Amino acid sequence: MTDRELKVVPPFGTYQNEIYAASLRGVLPDYPMTFDELAEHARHAMTPSVWSYVAGGAGDEFTQRANVTAFQKWGLYSRTFVGASERDMSVSLFGVRWPSPVFLAPVGLIGLCAQDGHGDLAVARAAARVRTPMMGSTLMADPLEQVAAELGPTPGFFQLYAPADRELA
């Protein structure tokens, strides 16, 4: 099977370079740049019940702490001036050549997190803007057809949790 090619996306470093160049002119980013800043921003933007759901993780937050600890062992290093005139981050998966190994993972009930209650549509629009494949959650707040329409030609996947009731499944 040959790979289908997806349209080329702007280099991901373009966004980082824009932020960096603006900071040299004294312009701070519009959005929080650290997890703690992002969490604090979200806490103020969400209702207390939604924030409790998001911040609670999986009950006692054990998994969240374990993930943070695991990722603290890794780092990203800029490789400026290494002589690469063209960068290719593409990967082949499912018979498709993807522009990068990055996909948006499913987040259940993300619709609750958007102030208008349509977080799934917002994520689909963002995915389409940067042509990053999105996986919709079984627990989407918006109809799958509307989410797919927002993705346009950007590939989308759907995470299906089959119900335990065999007749319903």
Q: For 18-67, give the secondary structure using H, E and C.
A: HHHHHHHCCCCCCCCCCHHHHHHHHHHHCCHHHHHHHHCCCCCCHHHHHH
Confidence of residue 7 (pLDDT cuts 50, 70, 90): low
The domain in which residue 30 lies consists of: 10-82
Q: pLDDT tens for residues 102-135?
A: 899 998 888 888 889 899 999 999 999 888 899 9
pTM of whole model > 0.85? no
Asked if residue 166 belongs to a domain, the reply is no
pLDDT at 32: 77
Q: pLDDT tens for residues 10-45?
A: 666 677 788 888 989 999 888 777 888 888 988 998
pLDDT at 30: 80
Residue 55 has pLDDT above 90, yes or no: no
Q: Which residue has the higher pLDDT, 99 or 142?
A: 142
Q: pLDDT tens for residues 135-158?
A: 999 999 999 999 999 999 988 999
Last residue of a domain, one of 58, 82, 106: 82
| 72, 25: one domain | yes
| 74, 100: one domain | no
Residue 83 has pLDDT above 70, yes or no: no
Last residue of a domain, one of 29, 55, 82: 82
| 154, 94: one domain | yes
Confidence of residue 95 (pLDDT cuts 50, 70, 90): confident
| 96, 147: one domain | yes
Asked if residue 54 belongs to a domain, the reply is yes
| 47, 69: one domain | yes
User: Under DSSP, is residue 120 helix (H, G, I), strand (E, B) or coil?
Assistant: helix
Asked if residue 96 belongs to a domain, the reply is yes
Asked if residue 64 belongs to a domain, the reply is yes
If one counts the domains in the chain, the total is 2
